[in-house]
């Protein structure tokens, strides 16, 4: 017999409070570090995930003089996502599998320590979707936290690199892996899980920072006691208002026990509001990719979440793509900023989804404020109905409308989205968000697939190609660019400016008080553009394609910019894994075949600075 939800939530809350220290603020050590622009102490630069730096030594006037100061080879050839952390003068970088961590001395550019975990490659690598990437490290209370590919979460002493503790977060034999960067909040280390293409049921988990014990765990789908949804408190946006979700809101949207292998994994980025004590993130696609096999809205896959940091209880949840038919994973980062919308200052959360819509919601209540297309090619839905909160799907591009074993053509965006995991940046100087994007469409043919634990559970064949059209006019324009870098106004849902790129922009950007935005390209260029106009002011070709996120920091009074290059990831999976068929790599290989003419494999940290002492 199941425990009543109310009593269960009370019990879990009490347990979490007993485990937590008597503080009500974020991790004080990490807060101190993020307030000093000399550091880059978390994936987004701060808890809000803005990826903004107040440093201005490098600016629009002198960035043309920027030079590479030094480089460091990681020794690994697969895709290098994520980026360096800089904490009190020490640089910490990571690699894709085997997930080696390096602590680097900036004065001598030498290795202080390195750590390579023991992992079973034969078990782990075969169940890693879309390359063997890792999106970065976390820091807190003198420890570096590594989320290993084999799901082991490891705490390392930041000074020595010695392992302090480790805990198993999942089971690779069931298709579970990890690629996300953890987030340190208070006395907790928060992490997710990967494996939606293997029928893994997604969750967010919080572990004690001191010993690795599990404090809470909230699933993306299932009964309320699994999702940590309180039907009397948890809300969603529905029928033009913030509404309580009601009992077992997830179970009602799945057929039978399909939710047990339902996907909704959590391999993206996590943000935190210390004042509200809420953790924000997105959940991914439902399993399988064949929509015919899973009737219903499939809640709460493809959703934005706000959870209480202490207990995991859900404050609000909003589903962006009900009953996903295109693999529009909802895991992209959530940026927390205060903005004036409709003449009123709002605490907002801004999210650019794979589905091609940019969302602005009230982060206190979950009220939907803005939902507009941020790429001109998006055609699978005409718009988001602001009353229902649901996208209005165009039958021509509905894979379920056409049915199993039927090829639905010219869907925009492709499954890798108008933007994938590469995080945006935000500048309070301009009020704009800067989006590293894709301009890619696809053909999509679903087919029936059976679930077997630890085996692929995809059920669709894809091919991808440049968008080549402007849906605003309905005309094909013959363009061949696969990427675009865009400035966006999240208060109005309008594109301010955009720059086409030959290949997808798979690098996270950083905005600075110097009036600049830095990002990397798949061919390997680090670029700097004017934050107001988008005018390119600087470029430098690094040793390999960039899918890493740019960071900036200060050392001995001098500003530096650093980025990991090393082509791979979903867009570069053909090169990284040696795949050749056009539909291999879940459809990406054919679209990016020519990339090998511009760059080659190899992981390198490149650090840039202005000349002089």
CA 285, CA 130: separation in Å to the nearest integer? 14
pLDDT digits 0-9 by tens, 430-464: 999 999 999 999 999 999 999 999 999 999 999 99
Q: Identify whether the C-beta of residue 109 lies closer than 8 Å to the C-beta of residue 93.
A: no
CA 16, CA 218: separation in Å to the nearest integer? 13
Give the Å distances, CA to CA, from 133 to 16, 154, 194, 230, 564: 32, 17, 12, 35, 12
Give the residue-averaged pLDDT of 170-188.
Answer: 97
Structure tokens at 155: 């705490």
**Mean pLDDT over the full length of the chain:** 94
3 pLDDT higher than 50 = no
pLDDT band at 304 (very low <50, low <70, confident <90, very high): very high
Q: How many CB atoms lie within 10 A of CB 45?
A: 27
CA 610, CA 387: separation in Å to the nearest integer? 51
The single residue listed with the structure tokens 């680090």 is 526
Question: Degrees (nearest 5) of the Cα angle 446, 449, 452?
Answer: 145
pLDDT band at 480 (very low <50, low <70, confident <90, very high): confident
527 pLDDT higher than 50 = yes
Give the residue-averaged pLDDT of 72-90.
Answer: 97
DSSP 119: -
Give the Å distances, CA to CA, from 189 to 88, 96, 335: 20, 21, 19
For the chain, the structural domain boundaries read 5-609
| pLDDT at residue number 25 | 57
The single residue listed with the structure tokens 């990490």 is 30
DSSP 433: E
Give the list of residues 6+ apart from residue 373 with CB closer than 8 angstroms, or none.
356, 357, 358, 418, 471
pLDDT digits 0-9 by tens, 91-148: 999 999 999 999 999 999 999 999 999 999 999 999 999 999 999 999 999 999 999 9
Give the residue-averaged pLDDT of 295-320.
Answer: 98
For the domain made up of 5-609, the CATH class stated in words is mainly beta
pLDDT band at 476 (very low <50, low <70, confident <90, very high): low
* CA-closest candidate to residue 39, choices 554, 590, 515, 613: 554
Active site residues: 327
CA 110, CA 591: separation in Å to the nearest integer? 39
Q: Which of 25-39, 488-502, 520-534 has the lowest mean pLDDT?
A: 25-39
DSSP, residue by residue, 357-412: EEEEEETTT--EEEEEESSTT--SEEEE-TTT--EEE-GGG-HHHH-TT--EEEES
315 pLDDT higher than 60 = yes
pLDDT band at 11 (very low <50, low <70, confident <90, very high): very low
CA 544, CA 564: separation in Å to the nearest integer? 9
CA 128, CA 130: separation in Å to the nearest integer? 7
CA 51, CA 44: separation in Å to the nearest integer? 5
Give the residue-averaged pLDDT of 27-48.
Answer: 94
Query: Which long-range contacts does 383-391 make (Cβ < 8 Å, 24+ apart)?
Result: 384/357, 386/240, 387/239, 387/240, 388/238, 388/239, 388/240, 389/236, 389/237, 389/238, 389/318, 389/319, 390/322, 391/320, 391/321, 391/322, 391/355, 391/357
Q: Identify whether the C-beta of residue 484 lies closer than 8 Å to the C-beta of residue 375.
A: yes
pLDDT band at 27 (very low <50, low <70, confident <90, very high): confident
């Amino acid at each position: 017999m199941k425990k009543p939800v109310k009593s269960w939530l009370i019990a879990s809350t009490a347990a979490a409070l007993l485990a937590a220290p008597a503080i009500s603020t974020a991790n004080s050590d990490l807060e101190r570090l993020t307030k000093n622009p000399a550091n880059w102490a978390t994936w987004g630069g701060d808890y809000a995930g803005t990826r903004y730096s107040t440093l201005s030594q490098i600016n629009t006037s002198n960035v043309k003089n920027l030079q590479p100061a030094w480089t460091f080879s990681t020794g690994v050839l697969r895709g290098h996502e994520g980026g360096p952390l800089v904490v009190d003068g020490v640089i910490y970088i990571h690699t894709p599998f085997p997930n080696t961590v390096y602590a680097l001395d900036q004065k001598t550019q030498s290795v202080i320590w390195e750590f390579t975990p023991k992992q079973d490659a034969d078990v782990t690598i075969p169940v890693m979707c879309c390359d063997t990437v890792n999106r970065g490290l976390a820091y807190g209370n003198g420890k570096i936290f590594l989320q290993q590919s084999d799901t082991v979460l490891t705490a390392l002493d930041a000074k020595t690199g010695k392992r302090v503790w480790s805990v198993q977060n999942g089971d690779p034999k069931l298709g579970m892996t990890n690629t996300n960067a953890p987030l340190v909040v208070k006395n907790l280390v928060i992490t997710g899980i990967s494996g939606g293409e293997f029928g893994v049921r997604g969750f967010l988990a919080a572990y004690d920072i001191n010993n690795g014990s599990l404090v809470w765990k909230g699933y993306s789908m299932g009964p309320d006691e699994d999702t940590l949804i309180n039907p009397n408190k948890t809300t969603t946006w529905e029928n033009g208002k913030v509404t309580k979700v009601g009992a077992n809101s997830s179970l009602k949207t799945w057929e039978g026990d399909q939710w047990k292998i339902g996907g909704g994994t959590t391999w993206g980025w996590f943000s935190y509001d210390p004042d509200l004590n809420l953790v924000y993130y997105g959940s991914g696609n439902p399993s399988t990719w064949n929509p015919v096999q899973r009737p219903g809205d499939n809640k709460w896959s493809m959703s934005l979440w706000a959870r209480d940091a202490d207990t995991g209880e859900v404050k609000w949840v909003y589903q962006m793509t009900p009953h996903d038919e295109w693999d529009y994973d909802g895991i992209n980062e959530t940026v927390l900023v205060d903005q004036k919308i409709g003449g009123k200052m709002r605490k907002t959360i801004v999210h650019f989804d794979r589905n091609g819509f940019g969302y602005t919601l009230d982060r206190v209540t979950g009220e939907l404020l803005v939902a507009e297309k941020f790429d001109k090619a998006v055609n699978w839905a005409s718009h988001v109905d602001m009353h229902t909160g649901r996208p209005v799907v165009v039958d021509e591009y509905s894979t379920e409308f056409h049915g199993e074993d039927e090829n639905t053509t010219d869907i925009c965006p492709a499954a890798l989205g108008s933007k994938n995991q590469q995080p945006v940046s935000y500048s309070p100087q301009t009020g704009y968000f800067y989006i590293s994007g894709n301009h890619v469409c696809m053909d999509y043919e679903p087919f029936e697939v059976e679930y077997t634990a630890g085996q692929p559970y995809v059920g669709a064949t894809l091919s991808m190609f440049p968008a080549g059209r402007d849906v605003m006019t309905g005309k094909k324009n013959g363009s061949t660019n696969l990427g675009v870098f865009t400035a966006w106004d999240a208060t109005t849902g309008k594109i301010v400016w955009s720059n086409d790129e030959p290949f997808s922009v798979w690098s996270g950007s950083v905005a600075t008080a110097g009036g600049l935005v830095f990002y990397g390209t798949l061919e390997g260029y680090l670029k700097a553009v004017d934050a107001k106009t988008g005018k390119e002011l600087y470029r430098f070709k690094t040793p390999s394609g960039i899918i890493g996120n740019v960071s900036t920091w200060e050392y001995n009074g001098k500003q530096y910019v650093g980025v990991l290059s090393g082509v791979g990831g979903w867009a570069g999976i053909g090169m990284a894994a040696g795949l050749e068929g056009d539909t291999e790599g879940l459809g990406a290989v054919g679209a990016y075949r020519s990339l090998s003419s511009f760059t080659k494999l190899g992981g390198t940290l490149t650090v840039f600075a202005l000349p002089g002492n």
